[in-house]
């Protein structure tokens, strides 16, 4: 019986540990680095609104489905899907879900680590006062110099990957829980402090309006796809991270409430990061559509020009790096769990091998900013292609099939039993979202742009 299964990798001590770990996974570079810059590139308010709708109508229902699947299977996503498909006699094709997720996760880690490396580097740069008294343009060129320097990028990318390896090798439950418990609230506090600074820049209203004034003329289907992809990315969905964490979740914990909490915290951090960053953008005449460098230019500029900025700034990048680390370990966990199950090797070896491979593929992203910057596929660098392929294609597609599988294939008895929701109204709402809203939303943002391009 499903009830008796436990994972060979361990079980979280309590529901809280799951919340911390899942929030650690969700809150990361996606919130503080990626959300503000893609919002800037896509014109602000309307994009934010679509993103919030995607979180509520697509992300939360699918996150519940992933946790439910993990807790049913109690194994790596690949084996969880294999076993469930066998138990329920479903079409074997559904097993591909586990594989697509694990591959997407692996690919994400290869570039996530490079960006996390920038953040590690900025602990040092801000800490030694590199940005003190510099203006926006000067801070921007310091960032460009970092990107142009493959040796530096390589060094910090390697360091981040070593940190991930060391933590994952020891098992997620040991060191991480404590760290997340203290560091996540601290990150939030520092973000609030930055918002405080932003309020005093004189451009707070402009930043606020940029984030929340909805102007649909700035919206396009491509932007909607980016919003949807980011909803998956920021909630760590569609690649098995939440499923594998779900497989370590104690039986008693309620899935609905837990997932809501994680999604709410994640959204809050992203919005607060936006409120910290955009006023600084406008008060310094910087470009909101500056791209991936946005956070690495605006915030160091603020730190370089405020009292105790060196100290607070270094601390801020420590926390961002930490948030990236607690996401990084969850990105590789599905693959590690599978290698341990499949080849019966110990966790340390499995982690070291996979992280080495990810590090190696990550060199492509390192070089895409300098040595290979000229090699482009339809105008996109290696990093752009990876980012687009994983976040905008693979995650939504896997999520789409998860919604279909849990919504249409798994028996109601199994699903309702696992969720154990008290309110039948909420359960129906969830089921409706999973069966109809989520798949249709994904289909729409996939199909309409194709139609517009090739037919319309
Ligand atoms: N959610 C993480 C972030 O926002 C990134 C992530 C993606 C983590 C996919 C796990 C899986 O930074």
Residue having the nearest C-alpha atom to atom 6 of ligand 1: 236
228 vs 33: CA distance, rounded Å: 17
Q: Which CATH superfamily is domain 2-454 in?
A: Amino acid/polyamine transporter I (1.20.1740.10)
The pLDDT value recorded for residue 115 is 97
Does the beta carbon of 328 sit less than 6 angstroms from any atom of ligand 1? no
- Specify the ligand 1 atom closest to the Cα of 26: 1
Flag the least confident range among 110-114, 270-274, 440-444. Answer: 440-444
Q: Is the CB of 80 under 6 A from ligand 1?
A: no
Tell me if 375 sits within 8 A of 56, measured CB to CB: no
- Locate the ligand 1 atom nearest the alpha carbon of residue 324 and give its number: 12
Give the closest residue to 270 by CA, choosing from 218, 234, 294, 228: 234
Ligand 1: distance of its center to the CA of 88 in Å? 30
pLDDT at 2 over 70: no
Q: Ligand 1 pocket: which of 112, 240, 319 to mutate (most atoms <8 Å of CB)?
A: 112
Which atom from ligand 1 is nearest to the alpha carbon of 28?
Answer: 12
Mean pLDDT, residues 143-151 = 96
Give residue 363's pLDDT.
97
At 1 the pLDDT is 42
Cα–ligand 1 centroid distance for 237 (angstroms) = 8
Map tokens 């590090």 to a residue. 359
- 2 or 307, higher pLDDT: 307
Q: Kindly state if the Cβ of 239 falls inside 6 Å of ligand 1.
A: yes
pLDDT at 452 over 80: no
Q: Return d(Cα 126, Cα 366) in angstroms, integer.
A: 22
The residue whose C-alpha atom lies closest to atom 9 belonging to ligand 1 is 236
Tell which residue, 386, 353, 350, has the closest CA to residue 170. Answer: 350
Single pTM value for the model: 0.93
Alpha-carbon distance of 99 to 112, in angstroms, equals 20
Q: Would you state the torsion angle of the CA atoms of residues 314, 318, 319, 324, taken in this order, to the nearest 10 degrees?
A: 140
pLDDT digits (tens, 9 = 90+) for 105-143: 999 999 999 999 999 999 999 999 999 999 989 999 999
pLDDT of 7 over the 80 cut: yes
Burial of 45 (0-12, 13-18, 19+ CB in 10 A): buried
- Output 172 or 74, whichever has higher pLDDT: 74
More confident residue, 454 or 350: 350
Task: Give the number of other CB atoms < 10 A from CB of residue 414.
Answer: 16
């Amino acid at each position: 019986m499903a009830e008796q299964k436990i994972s060979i990798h361990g079980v979280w001590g309590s529901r809280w540990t799951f919340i911390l770990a899942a929030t650690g996974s969700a809150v990361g570079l996606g919130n503080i680095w990626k959300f503000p810059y893609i919002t800037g590139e896509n014109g602000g308010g309307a994009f934010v609104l679509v993103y919030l709708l995607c979180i509520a109508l697509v992300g939360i229902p699918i996150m519940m489905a992933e946790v439910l699947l993990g807790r049913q299977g109690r194994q790596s996503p690949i084996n969880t899907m294999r076993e469930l498909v066998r138990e329920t006699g479903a079409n074997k094709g559904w097993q591909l879900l586990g594989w697509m997720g694990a591959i997407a996760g692996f690919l994400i880690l290869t570039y996530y680590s490079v960006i996390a490396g920038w953040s590690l580097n900025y602990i040092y740069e801000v800490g030694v006062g590199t940005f003190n008294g510099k203006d926006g343009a000067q801070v921007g060129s310091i960032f460009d110099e970092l990107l142009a320097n493959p040796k530096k990028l390589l060094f910090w990318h390697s360091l981040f990957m070593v940190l991930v390896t060391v933590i994952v090798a020891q098992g997620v439950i040991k060191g991480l829980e404590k760290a997340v418990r203290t560091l996540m609230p601290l990150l939030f506090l520092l973000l609030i402090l930055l918002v405080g600074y932003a309020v005093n820049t004189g451009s707070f209203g402009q930043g606020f309006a940029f984030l929340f004034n909805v102007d649909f003329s700035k919206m396009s289907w491509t932007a909607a796809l980016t919003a949807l992809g980011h909803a998956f990315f920021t909630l760590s969905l569609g690649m098995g991270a939440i499923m594998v964490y779900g497989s370590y979740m104690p039986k008693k914990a309620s899935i609905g409430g837990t997932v809501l909490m994680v999604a709410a915290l994640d959204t809050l951090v992203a919005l607060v990061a936006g409120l910290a960053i955009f006023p600084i953008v406008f008060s310094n005449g910087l470009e909101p559509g500056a791209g991936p460098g946005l956070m690495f230019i605006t915030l160091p500029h603020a730190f370089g020009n405020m009292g105790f900025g060196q100290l607070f700034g270094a601390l801020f990048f420590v926390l961002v790096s930490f948030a990236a680390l607690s996401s990084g370990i969850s990105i590789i966990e599905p693959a590690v769990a599978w290698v341990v199950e499949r080849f019966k090797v110990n966790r340390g070896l499995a982690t070291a091998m996979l992280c080495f491979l990810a590090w190696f593929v990550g060199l492509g992203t390192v070089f895409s900013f300098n040595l290979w910057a000229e090699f482009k596929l339809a105008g996109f660098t290696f990093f752009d292609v990876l980012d687009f392929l994983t976040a905008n294609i693979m995650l939504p597609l896997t999520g789409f099939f998860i919604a279909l599988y849990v919504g249409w294939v798994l028996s109601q008895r199994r699903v309702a039993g696992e969720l154990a929701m008290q309110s039948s109204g909420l359960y129906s709402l969830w089921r409706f979202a999973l069966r109809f809203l989520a798949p249709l939303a994904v289909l729409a943002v996939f199909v309409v742009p194709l139609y517009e391009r090739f037919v319309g």
